[in-house]
Amino acid sequence: MPRAKRTKLRQRWLVMAGVAVVLLLAVVLLLWQTVGIARDRVWDQIQTSGQWLVGMDPSFPPFEDLDDAGRPVGFDVDLARAIAAYWGVEAQIEGLGFDGLVDAVQAGRLDSAISALPYQPERTQDVAFSDPYCEAGLVLVAPVGSSAIVSLDALAGQRLAVEWGSEGDVQARLLRRRFPDLVLLPSDTPQAALLAVAEGQADAALVDHISALQFTANDARLAISPQVIVSDPYVIVLPRRAPVLQQKVGEALQALRADGTLDALTARWFGATQD
């Protein structure tokens, strides 16, 4: 065989060998990935022990608190129990300081944390977050039938009550740039701001959703705007390398939303439903 032809043949073999190695690596990677997804030690442990270890800081009613007997009670406690029941296991509540909850999940000391925790984009390399289960952001509250709860534009020339110094206050000051004739009425608490609306001293209030739910549950004169002005969703914190658990929590939340459990919990702890 001529030398040139031999060289060409050798080159062709080398190329084919290279392609084969790359393909082999791809298959190995794919298999590793698939096996990795199928394995979830946290979920396996929950299934084996029948216990889901959930951390929370029981000092934030109505989300989590301790009753007179020292037992954890609140929206998050009931949510943890409802999710666990959906899986056929028990939720074991572990009390821990608010600031240490995410780290405890990351370190594997907890299976999950449910404690009115916000989504933290800068921690997504450390832990995973569920879909939101509760919206605690800013909403407008106004008398039933008021245009203020339908459109922000209706706020022009209105009196808007806020809790002085709060995020609602900051947003109201920004709104005043858009509507210079908007009158801000600062109050000491969100409840005082809502009372000002109920008593006709203000046309609307810009407060957190939970305060709005609690107040409107007892005062049918006021309604909450369907539009969230600034979103602050609460989520469940989960281990990053627990893909099955993450999936199961998502499924459970969907099911509890669909069968009305979440609404029932909201009504129980906040006095009204979120919708």
Partner 1 sequence: MPGFHVRDHVDQALPASRHHRRLLLGLLLALLGLLAVALIVLRQPSVTVGPQQTVVTVNPKMGVHTRLTDEVEEWKIKRTLEMVREMGAPWIVEYFPWAYVEPDRPGQGQWEHSDMVIRHASAQGLQVIARLGFVPQWARPKDTSPLYLEEDNYAAFGDYVYQFVQRYGADVSHIIIWNEPNLSLEWGYRPVDPASYVEMLRVAYTRAKEANPAVQVLGGALAPTLAPPGSEWGMDDLHYLQAMYDAGAAPYFDILAAHAYGGKFPPDEPAAADAINFARTELLREVMVRNGDGAKPIMITEGGWNDHPRWTRAVRPGRRIEYTLAAYDKALTDWPWLEAVALWAFHYPAPARTYQDYFTFVTPDFQPKAIYLEAQRYAQGKEN
Residues in contact with partner 1 by the rule CB under 8 A: 57, 59-60, 98-99, 102, 116, 120, 122-123, 163-166, 169-170, 173, 186, 188-189
Of 233 and 243, nearer to partner 1 (C-beta) is 233
Closest separation in Å from C-beta 260 to partner 1 = 29
In the complex, the smallest distance separating the C-beta of residue 123 from partner 1, rounded to whole angstroms, is 7
Cβ closest to partner 1, residue 117 vs residue 252: 117
Neighbouring residues of 206: CB distance < 8 A, sequence distance ≥ 6: 138, 139, 140, 141, 160, 161, 162, 168, 171, 172, 175, 193, 229
CA proximity to 245, closest of 114, 112, 94: 112
Tell me how far apart the alpha carbons of residues 88 and 168 are, in angstroms, rounded to a whole number: 41
Nearer to partner 1, 90 or 126 (CB): 126
The torsion of the CA quartet 29, 31, 37, 43, rounded to 10 degrees, works out to -130
Strands 51-56 and 90-95: parallel
Q: Which is nearer to partner 1, 89 or 184 (CB)?
A: 184
Nearer to partner 1, 163 or 203 (CB): 163
Q: To the nearest whole angstrom, how small is the minimum distance from the Cβ of residue 17 to partner 1?
A: 32
Closest approach, Cβ 164 to partner 1, in A, equals 4
* Nearest approach, Cβ of residue 95 and partner 1 (Å): 14
- Identify whether the C-beta of residue 172 lies closer than 8 Å to the C-beta of residue 182: yes
Q: Would you say 223 and 141 are in contact if contact means Cβ atoms under 8 Å apart?
A: yes
